[in-house]
Structure 1
Amino acid sequence: MFLKIVRSAQGIDYVYVVEGYRDSSGIIRHKYLFSLGKLEDFLQTPSFQKLARRALGNSTERKIELKSISEGKVVYWGHSLIKKLWDSFEFDRFFNGKRARKRFDIARAVFYMTARHMMLSDSKLGMYESRIDFLGFETVGINHLYRALDVLAERKEEIEEHLFQRRYNLFNSHVDVVFYDVTTVYFESQREDVLRKYGFSKDGKIGSVQIVLGLLIDKEGFPIGYEIFPGNSFDGKTLIPFLEKIKKRFSLNRIILVADRGINSKLNLLKLREMGFGYIVALRLRNASEEILKEVFNQADYKEVTNSEGVFKYKTLRQRFRLRDEEGKLREIEDTVVVSYSDRRAERDRAERQRLIQKAIRLLETPSAIEGLNKRGGKKYIKAEQSSKYFLDEELIERDRAFEGYYAIQSSEENLKAEQILEAYHSLWKIEESFRIMKHTLEIRPVYHWSEQRIKGHLVVCFLSFLFMRMLEEVLSREVSAERIREALRSITFTEFSIEGVQYYLRNKMDRVARELFKGLKVAMPENITEKENFKI
């Protein structure tokens, strides 16, 4: 936003607050938000004259000539807070090294993309075209941004290791419980390549190629590392290759991995044990053995807790699971299984089952539409005879009814109590929240880069942005959402103007959260008005 002076047909100058934006063709246009009245009246108000005299350091009562005052332009400065976090990891030295001569400042380009992504998501071209709206980045060129992406792609693992060492040493943190999950990131494209493939989209984005993103976070919700896989990769196939890389690069000796049922294959669990890792994962009850199911539905030995949400009860079992390893040898693992039941979950499961039954009934009214559907949705409860006649699968409906409200968690940890296993697994929401922040708040997708190198560089920027957003949340004791923090960063602005040829920055009003961030990070608030020459960007 900025102030613009517009002359009317009668030759009178008016002051408007104007916002710049790009139309669908990428052309920069102006939107007039509101008028501040006639320029002459606006500049002669006592408050503005007081500001002008303060800027000039003149305590006299002389009037400031209108022609000596320039139009004002609003510029962002929220990145000053992010820079405090950036410096805590010594990233300037990490990226630029000790080279005396450099073609460009890599650290500045990477920092601009990271901070900009936290405040306002945009394409790299958009970042370049609007760089003058962010104090201190006027000299960043479009070639700097693209080259920086290449550097990020090349040094991705080195960056993760640097972050890991700095965070878990500098902040005296330690890793014992970690969470893993995968999501998909789509592209506005239908062209497949080695990385971008068609696959099941967790965003429900049909007809676009995608990649699969595996993310590992610690128990506080901070990212440890990530890996990308071709878009047609199955969730369960991503875990072991990822952890093998992580184990070699980081000092991860004994950790407990918490994950959803997507990675729970017996072979995965065997490999986790062989790597020295523990695990807490969801168990597919519907695929469980009759021995386990008999214990699940046996109401003896359940511990019951009643609260405002109804009944919650749980019990612990010890079970042996047999499997064949990759060489075909018969193996056996023994795990703890915690089975739980809750009224609230039963109510939710019942509503979902009724919804699917209704969809199935509607599908049966138009049998020709059934054949092309997959088993998801209403077709789940439709059974076909050889004569291509369809009918409701009452047997499956009754079977699902029996499982309503029940859930099971499988763990390698013999020394953990059932309550601890339940608590660890229920903390899996942290990684779901992480994906939500990356996808919706920081807008990781869609991705507009096409080359594998640029895609990888873009994801490093998103990774850094997510880390720093988590750190800002921690500064505010996790009491403020990432979306609200993003708004606060955008509220930190200055109006840039000049009086009699001297340039000044006028600090605009910022919101409450922004002020709390300044205080929490121990960053000095800028003066209300500062001469550009004396302003430290």
Structure 2
Amino acid sequence: MDMYIETSKFKTKSGKIYSSTLLRQSYREGKKVKKRTIANLSKCSPDEIEAIKLALKHKLDLANLGSFDESVKCQEGLSVGAVWTVLEVAKRLGIVNALGSSRDGKLALWQVIARVIDQGSRLSAVRLANTHAMASAIGIEKGFNEDALYQNLAWLNDNQERIEQKLFKLRKEQSSNLFLYDVTSSYLEGDKNELADWGYNRDKKKGKKQIVVGLLCDDEGEPISTEIFKGNTSDLTTFYSQIEKAKKRFGCEKVTFVGDRGMIKRTQIKALEENGFQYITAISKKEIETLIKKDHIQLEFFSKELYEVELDGVRYILRKNPRRAEELDQNRVRKRAAIKKLILDRNQYLEEHPKAKVETAVKTVNAKIKKLKVDGHLSLETEERTLVLKLSEEKLKEESRLDGCYIIKTDLKQSEADKQVAHDRYKDLAFVESAFRTSKSTLELRPVHVRTAESTHGHVFVVMMAYMIMKNLDMLWKEIDTTVAEGLKSLSTLTTIEVTLNDQTKFEKVPEPRAQNRALLGAAGVSIPKIIPRNDAHVATKKQTRKSAKKT
């Protein structure tokens, strides 16, 4: 008679799937082989079932198994906590499904997960796979090196539209018909990138070419699509492709675009109208002054409370931010103090050096005044060899009268969005600004090291998906007062225990997490299996580290 363990799954009429684990015995009655159930092991833990399997396997030589120390070997395995958590969140967000189960899809998934756990190059992502249970979690069967990840960036570029469409379709029912859009720039290392060019550098990196990055988000700041443009592309020019995406790629019939004052102008509004879309934007200081001159609005309309004016079917929502007005005033005071200090230094120098030219000192101070952009109300005069700063109170009053004042412009009807809603939706552009800050600093969007346009698009797309995960984790861990970086650092310490039985049977056991990690996993709603399947996919870098290179 032979005993064995049998595991089976069955589906009920309601669709629920149950599994049972039974200890069975086969025996012979005459010429027939029959089976019977000895025990129901369904409530046993995986570890207990493995132990029973081991005992059955060695039932004839249990005495020869030796002591526990001789038969069972344990050693530290790979980190599992962080990679499993990020993977589970990626599944919920639809990223795993959108990338697909192909080898390229799984390599792209690892690039996204690696970017969340520990930012860096494709080389560092490969090295990270040697410390985290990446292959087991994702199910990559064949190893890879950094070249495979660089090639994978091109695959991401080729499949970006398809992936973004899948991600959009998954949450289309939950999102509103409102898109937030903004752009930023990201500087480059070197000048060989195919999209590199000179432009308005938001990173304040002198002597560095750049690319322009556009990000389209839903009303909650969740990224929908990202797009790369040449470094000299204007904000206005990038907007047209966003309209086309909404219309053709995402199949939207009614959408309201929200963009800042430099994004949505007359021609962009016309393009929106032609596609049946609407807008919320703001107008420039010059446009505000024009409205005042034409007596369409008055300076008295600006206050802490919202005030609305409608002209030719377009609504203008006015407000004055007292805090911003105070900031601008204090900023002028600081600039004036800096100029006064420079004048004091120059006057002292002129006094101590009789041969020094007054014209040179005047040129230096005027350059400072122009650089600080206060030449509208400040001017420099000379009295013999002394420099004197002159302040025009009248010009200062004129210059500061619109401090903190802004106007939001929209073609939405009152029934579609009252003035408070329209105002708040414009302020939601802060979501996109936050995404840029996190992507450029924490997720290391910049500096861009790749050269081809395809790799650049792939790199930025990876960062966008990584931001989606990080944003979600930040929300989940906010209640336990833990940052994403702190949480992932702690979870990275949760490693498997690699168990070897009699130098043959191998499996990876996950120990019970300590209290801190239990709290993190619980808040994220992540459950890590007790036993992790082994995966011996060979992941290695082509490039040697300095230390290993010296040894060879």
- How far, CA to CA, are the matches of 2:224 and 2:424 in structure 1? 21
Corresponding position: 1:317 with 2:320: no
Deviation at 1:194, TM superposition (A): 4.3
- Using the TM superposition, name which of 489-498 and 222-231 deviates more: 489-498
What one-letter code is carried by the residue in structure 2 that aligns with 1:318?
A: E
Residue from 146, 157, 172 that aligns with 2:161: 157
What one-letter code is carried by the residue in structure 1 that aligns with 2:168?
A: F
What one-letter code is carried by the residue in structure 2 that aligns with 1:263?
A: M
Residue from 71, 87, 94 that aligns with 1:83: 87
SS in 1 for 2:401: helix
- How far, CA to CA, are the matches of 2:259 and 2:521 in structure 1? 33
Which residue of the partner structure matches residue 409 of structure 2? 410
- How far, CA to CA, are the matches of 1:373 and 1:454 in structure 2? 42
- Does the aligned pair in 1 maintain the 2:180–2:258 contact within 8 Å? yes
Residue 193 to residue 441, structure 1, CA distance change in 2 (3 Å): closer
Which residue of the partner structure matches residue 281 of structure 1? 281
- How far, CA to CA, are the matches of 1:96 and 1:286 in structure 2? 50
The within-5 A match list for 1:358-507 is 358-361=337-340, 366-369=361-364, 377-378=372-373, 381=376, 394=392, 396-415=395-414, 416-473=417-474, 475=476, 484-492=483-491, 493-498=494-499, 501=503, 504-507=508-511
Deviation at 1:357, TM superposition (A): 3.3
SS in 1 for 2:214: strand
- Does the aligned pair in 1 maintain the 2:376–2:396 contact within 8 Å? yes
- How far, CA to CA, are the matches of 2:460 and 2:391 in structure 1? 45
- Does the aligned pair in 2 maintain the 1:81–1:518 contact within 8 Å? no
Residue 260 to residue 392, structure 1, CA distance change in 2 (3 Å): farther
- How far, CA to CA, are the matches of 2:311 and 2:421 in structure 1? 18
Structure 2 residue runs without a partner (length 5+):
1-47, 55-65, 347-360, 537-552
- Does the aligned pair in 1 maintain the 2:180–2:219 contact within 8 Å? yes
- Does the aligned pair in 1 maintain the 2:498–2:507 contact within 8 Å? yes
Which residue of the partner structure matches residue 351 of structure 2? none
- How far, CA to CA, are the matches of 2:391 and 2:518 in structure 1? 57
- Does the aligned pair in 1 maintain the 2:95–2:465 contact within 8 Å? no
SS in 2 for 1:288: helix
What one-letter code is carried by the residue in structure 2 that aligns with 1:468?
A: I
- Does the aligned pair in 2 maintain the 1:187–1:447 contact within 8 Å? yes
Which residue of the partner structure matches residue 253 of structure 2? 253
The size of the alignment, in residue pairs, is 445
- Does the aligned pair in 1 maintain the 2:216–2:223 contact within 8 Å? yes
- Does the aligned pair in 2 maintain the 1:76–1:490 contact within 8 Å? no
SS in 2 for 1:268: helix
What are the superposed Cα offsets for residues 354-381 of structure 1, whole Å, 9 maximum, x if unpaired? 2333445556655445787896634655
The within-5 A match list for 1:3-14 is none
- How far, CA to CA, are the matches of 1:203 and 1:87 in structure 2? 33
- How far, CA to CA, are the matches of 1:531 and 1:163 in structure 2? 29
SS in 1 for 2:483: helix
Deviation at 1:123, TM superposition (A): 0.4
Residue 380 to residue 503, structure 1, CA distance change in 2 (3 Å): farther
- Does the aligned pair in 2 maintain the 1:195–1:452 contact within 8 Å? yes
Deviation at 1:118, TM superposition (A): 0.8
The within-5 A match list for 1:504-519 is 504-507=508-511, 509=513, 512=516, 515-518=519-522
What one-letter code is carried by the residue in structure 2 that aligns with 1:524?
A: S
When the two chains are superposed, the root-mean-square deviation of aligned CA atoms in Å is 4.0
User: Higher relative CO (CA 8 A, sep ≥ 6), structure 1 or 2?
Assistant: 2
Residue from 326, 349, 357 that aligns with 1:347: 326
Residue 246 to residue 264, structure 1, CA distance change in 2 (3 Å): closer
What one-letter code is carried by the residue in structure 2 that aligns with 1:202?
A: R
Which residue of the partner structure matches residue 199 of structure 1? 199
Which residue of the partner structure matches residue 150 of structure 2? 146
What one-letter code is carried by the residue in structure 1 that aligns with 2:82?
A: G
Deviation at 1:509, TM superposition (A): 4.3
Deviation at 1:352, TM superposition (A): 2.3
Computing the radius of gyration over CA atoms, which structure comes out larger, 1 or 2?
A: 2
- Does the aligned pair in 1 maintain the 2:339–2:369 contact within 8 Å? no
What one-letter code is carried by the residue in structure 2 that aligns with 1:157?
A: E
Residue from 98, 105, 108 that aligns with 1:107: 105
Residue 370 to residue 159, structure 1, CA distance change in 2 (3 Å): farther
What are the superposed Cα offsets for residues 402-437 of structure 1, whole Å, 9 maximum, x if unpaired? 112322111112323222222212222111111122
Residue 140 to residue 429, structure 1, CA distance change in 2 (3 Å): same
What are the superposed Cα offsets for residues 193-220 of structure 1, whole Å, 9 maximum, x if unpaired? 5411122221212221111111111111
Give me the identity figure in percent.
Answer: 22
- Does the aligned pair in 2 maintain the 1:363–1:378 contact within 8 Å? no
- How far, CA to CA, are the matches of 2:318 and 2:480 in structure 1? 34
Residue 358 to residue 410, structure 1, CA distance change in 2 (3 Å): farther
What are the superposed Cα offsets for residues 131-163 of structure 1, whole Å, 9 maximum, x if unpaired? 111103382332331221110011111111111
- How far, CA to CA, are the matches of 2:260 and 2:497 in structure 1? 51
- How far, CA to CA, are the matches of 2:517 and 2:280 in structure 1? 37
Deviation at 1:127, TM superposition (A): 1.1
What are the superposed Cα offsets for residues 434-491 of structure 1, whole Å, 9 maximum, x if unpaired? 1122122222111221222111111111121122233334556x6578x812432332
- How far, CA to CA, are the matches of 1:271 and 1:341 in structure 2? 30
- How far, CA to CA, are the matches of 1:208 and 1:372 in structure 2? 25
Residue 318 to residue 238, structure 1, CA distance change in 2 (3 Å): same
- Does the aligned pair in 2 maintain the 1:82–1:115 contact within 8 Å? yes
- How far, CA to CA, are the matches of 1:443 and 1:511 in structure 2? 31
SS in 2 for 1:221: coil
- Does the aligned pair in 1 maintain the 2:179–2:217 contact within 8 Å? yes
Which residue of the partner structure matches residue 118 of structure 2? 120
- How far, CA to CA, are the matches of 2:435 and 2:422 in structure 1? 21
Residue 380 to residue 515, structure 1, CA distance change in 2 (3 Å): farther
Q: TM-score, normalised by structure 1?
A: 0.71
- How far, CA to CA, are the matches of 2:523 and 2:535 in structure 1? 22
Which residue of the partner structure matches residue 234 of structure 1? 234
What one-letter code is carried by the residue in structure 1 that aligns with 2:310?
A: R
Deviation at 1:498, TM superposition (A): 4.8
Residue 357 to residue 511, structure 1, CA distance change in 2 (3 Å): farther
SS in 2 for 1:155: helix
SS in 2 for 1:72: strand
- How far, CA to CA, are the matches of 1:243 and 1:360 in structure 2? 47
What are the superposed Cα offsets for residues 289-319 of structure 1, whole Å, 9 maximum, x if unpaired? 444365654426x7x7xxxxxxx22311123
Corresponding position: 1:184 with 2:159: no
SS in 2 for 1:507: coil
Which residue of the partner structure matches residue 130 of structure 1? 128
SS in 1 for 2:144: coil
SS in 1 for 2:316: strand
Deviation at 1:109, TM superposition (A): 0.7
SS in 1 for 2:151: helix
SS in 1 for 2:412: coil
Structure 1 residue runs without a partner (length 5+):
1-52, 98-103, 305-311, 321-333
Deviation at 1:114, TM superposition (A): 0.5
Deviation at 1:252, TM superposition (A): 1.8
Corresponding position: 1:524 with 2:527: yes
Deviation at 1:116, TM superposition (A): 0.8
